[in-house]
Amino acid sequence: MINHVAKIGNVGVGGKNPVRIMAILNTSPESFYKKSVNTSKICIRNAVKQMENQGADFIDVGGLSTAPYLSTIVSEKVETKRILNAIKIIQNATNLPISVDTCRASVARDSLECGAEIINDISGLKYDDKMQEVILKFSPSLILCAYDSKTVLGDPVHVTKRLLKESLKIAKTSNIASEKIILDPAVGFFRKNGLGPFFTKIRSDWVDRDLSILKNLDSIKQTYPVLISVSNKSFLGKILGKEKPSDRLFGSIAAEAVSVLNGADVIRTHNVEATKDAICVASKLSK
């Protein structure tokens, strides 16, 4: 079995590389985690410099909140404007690779033209039919998330692996090398119902689904490096009985540490400094 070591935005991921940190920069005021929102030039610049100083390996910038339980859709024009503005500020503040969190082809195209290197598509290239053309033209590094526009049934691990394989097939038909791909099992995006379009509908308990995924990362990896994004998410709120995302820091750190022990190669987080410490200790304790 071939274990792919990826080069994501020119940063080695997987294999003997250290666990990497992807720092979240939200430019959407609609985001579920208000502490991660930065909209002014000075706030974005300061946030990015702090993320870099605390140990981030990538900056993941988003201009559209995709929390399934919120109705937060904005136009492609608004999303593009937010992201392009942020990219320019980030580029003047740091040389860290820039990832763009979007499902929309026009936003991805404009971002890549502006110098972004990674596309983080939570639909796994399935939401926008034109995304494949953009990927083919620019050949960016990819984060592929498990996603289906229809209701899915069955064992969560099996379903997640199937959906990721579908996205890998799309990426390969767009001539993206395996070494430029990492997988994301989409913790928080499998729900019984929601207000936005960016989630996969299930009939089973969604908290159990997310926990099952985190327990079985080695199986889900399918020889690819895997990214885990659990920071301040709802399943932690359910487990801890904490409704406010800002009260979920300790739960986030615990879940991230366990994810590293279970095989995560990248942790996407709002809390770079705390996550860096958790990864450092968990990496020393992993087999």
Q: Is residue 218 part of a domain?
A: yes
Q: Is there a domain that residue 241 lies in?
A: yes
pLDDT of residue 33: 55
3-state secondary structure string across 74-136: CCHHHHHHHHHHHHHHHHHHCCCCEEEECCCHHHHHHHHHCCCCEEEECCCCCCCCCHHHHHH
What's the pLDDT tens digit per position in 53-76?
A: 999 999 999 988 776 656 567 889
**Mean pLDDT across 179-195:** 92
202: in domain:
yes
The band of 14, judged by pLDDT with boundaries at 50, 70 and 90, is very high
State residue 70's pLDDT score. 60
Q: Is residue 215 part of a domain?
A: yes
For position 68, what pLDDT does the model report? 62
Task: Among 24-28, 117-121, 150-154, 168-172, name the one with the lowest average pLDDT.
Answer: 24-28
Per the structure, how many domains does the chain have? 1
Q: Please give the pLDDT value at position 206.
A: 93
* Mean pLDDT confidence for 125-144: 97
Mean pLDDT over 75-91 rounds to 94
Q: What is the pTM of this model?
A: 0.94
Lowest model confidence (mean pLDDT) among 73-82, 151-160, 223-232: 73-82
In a domain, 260, yes or no: yes
In a domain, 1, yes or no: no
Domain range for 170: 6-285
221-275 pLDDT, tens per residue?
889 999 999 999 999 999 999 999 889 999 999 999 999 999 999 999 999 999 9
Work out the average pLDDT over 108-120: 98
Supply the CATH number for residue 133's domain: 3.20.20.20
Choice between 257 and 192, residue whose per-residue pLDDT is larger:
257
Lowest mean pLDDT among 125-129, 176-180, 188-192, 226-230: 188-192
